[in-house]
Amino acid sequence: MSQQQKYAELFAAEAREHLAEMGRALVALEEEPGDRTSLDAIFRSTHTIKGMAAAMGYDVPTRLSHNIESVLDELRSGRRTVSADIIDLLLETVDILESAVEATVAGKTPVDPSAAIERLVLWRLADAGAAEPPLQADTVAQPAPAPEPRRTATPVSRRSDASRLRVDIRRLDALMNLMGELMILRGELKALADQLGAEPLDDAVERAGTLIGEMQAHVVESRMVPVWQIFDRFPRLVRDASRSTGKEVEFVVSGKQLELDRSLLDAIGDPLVHLLRNAVDHGIESPDERERAGKPRVGRIELGARRERSRVVITVRDDGRGIDRERVIEKARRDGLLAASEEATDQMLFRVMARPGFSTAAQITTLSGRGVGLDVVESSVRGLGGSVSFRSEPGIGTSFRLDLPLTLAILRALIVEVDGQVYAVPATFTRESFELDAKAVERAHGREWVRWRGERVPLTRLRTLFNGGEKSGSAREGVGFLSLVGLEFGESRLVISVDEFLGEEEIVIKPFDPPRGAVAVFSGAIVRPDGRPALVLDVGNLS
């Protein structure tokens, strides 16, 4: 990599962070116009971008940030007060600066900044105090109560000690891939050593295995980043969406410190944008409508992240009007997506709404108020080995829940055998494996059920499923004991039956394109320690 290229990449990475910080701090400043900390943070970020851009000889970003800085000087010195107008202007200019930075780094010609600069200069020249009421905290959005403190007072990635290193994600990806290969090799070695039965070899393989395990933990760790790195973009998004739709929204974020694999975090950005936009556009009612319904004028949207066992749960919840179930059901029945006898659970509704094309029916979108891009949300989360569930109550609100694995590339999985074939069930969703007397299986509503953890839960026999509904090997049915796996995804539960448990393994998932027409219950393939492939069950799609 040339020196110039190295600088350009460093510049781009750092500038992006500062741009995100500027957006975040501007929204915070709007909520609390007297907040000196936010004002100073915006100033420092602008200043840093200016210095870096100047050093790179990037003219347009330099001029833009220089002019933003001049406006900030007016505010910092107290000569001018923070108004809604200047926040708007600054946010717009930050967007232009961002596009200029990206264009410049990509070697393209950035937009002409003169119009933006002119507006900043005009603002500075305008008669201070004339027709510019100071911004009230309650005009746009209510400040969130007690924002969660960060672990350190400042974001780790930017302001902490110089002993931290910025590493290109591609290097970490490469490391992770090699780690995956090494994990497979570890399994092969272990199998070989077992075959040969030589004790010194066993010991060496055992020790190497332990070291590889530790190394893997470190590699995984090095890829973890706190979710605020993307959550911090969202206050701005919610603010802009609520402004443009005339809604009033209080946006509350929790669990920002939770850490996730970098590539997972990148991948859930867009789905979350969809869900948040939908919540503002379609979930939250207009202030007047809310008042008529006896609700507070200001709607509330909550975004939260938390750890639950070996998975991460992200929730997006609004207190809006909820989904018009009748409309969705009616439409689904008409289109043959839902049988007349079929019970319409929330999960079923989600399935229906998340079908590609379903949402684009204008009638449904405007009437039911949901569905925009849900198929996109579903498929991206599914692609990450996660699941989406959903709950909605008319007049009370809607919540979405994303269940995600902690990391992408390496998963713990339960290895099972069905009909002579080996399959992997990601541990993200497995709660426990257990055995049950086959006589305890109940039949109701045209399917089988078992009692699990005090609840009646649907049972899916993988053997039946894989054989296209044919009950091959029915000798086992109703006799002896069933080997079962209890699964939980979101708020749903399902029990699957397998022929045999083969144990738990760390698996490295390889991307997988299912052949057209195949049963859509596999999310990927893995290579077993003996070198043979096995399919990974897409648990969310089993029920």
Partner 1 sequence: MRRTVLIVDDAIFMRTMIADILKGADFEVVGEAASGAEAVEKYKELKPDLVTMDIVMPDMGGIDAVREIIKLDPEARILMCSAMGQQGLVVEAIQAGARDFVVKPFQPSRVLEAVQRLLG
Nearer CB in complex with partner 1: 6/297? 6
Nearer CB in complex with partner 1: 48/433? 48
Are 330 and 349 within 8 A, CB to CB? no
Residue 160: CB minimum distance to partner 1, A: 7
Q: How many CB atoms lie within 10 A of CB 350?
A: 24
What are the backbone dihedrals phi and psi of residue 148, each rounded to the nearest 5 degrees, phi first? -60, 130
Nearer CB in complex with partner 1: 41/416? 41
Are 287 and 329 within 8 A, CB to CB? no
Residue 144: CB minimum distance to partner 1, A: 22
Are 473 and 479 within 8 A, CB to CB? no
Which residues sit at the interface with partner 1, rule CB under 8 A? 3, 6-7, 10-11, 14, 41, 43-44, 47-48, 50-52, 54-57, 66, 69, 153-154, 158-162, 166
Nearer CB in complex with partner 1: 52/404? 52
Residue 11: CB minimum distance to partner 1, A: 5
Residue 88: CB minimum distance to partner 1, A: 25
Are 392 and 344 within 8 A, CB to CB? no
Q: What is the DSSP secondary structure assignment for residue 283, as one 8-state letter?
A: I
Contacts 24+ apart (CB under 8 A), 184-190: 184/508, 184/527, 184/529, 186/212, 186/529, 187/505, 187/528, 187/529, 187/530, 188/529, 188/530, 188/531, 190/529
Q: What value does the CA radius of gyration of the chain take, rounded to a whole number of Å? A: 27
Q: How far apart are the first and last CA of the chain?
A: 50
Query: Measured between alpha carbons, how far is 524 from 537 in angstroms, rounded to an integer?
Result: 8
Nearer CB in complex with partner 1: 57/468? 57
Residue 60: CB minimum distance to partner 1, A: 14
Are 169 and 263 within 8 A, CB to CB? yes
Nearer CB in complex with partner 1: 15/542? 15
Q: What is the DSSP secondary structure assignment for residue 476, as one 8-state letter?
A: G
Nearer CB in complex with partner 1: 171/471? 171
Residue 148: CB minimum distance to partner 1, A: 19
Residue 10: CB minimum distance to partner 1, A: 4
Residue 44: CB minimum distance to partner 1, A: 6
Q: How many CB atoms lie within 10 A of CB 13?
A: 14
Nearer CB in complex with partner 1: 41/507? 41
| Sequence-ordered alpha helix ranges (H) in 339-448 | 346-353, 362-368, 374-383
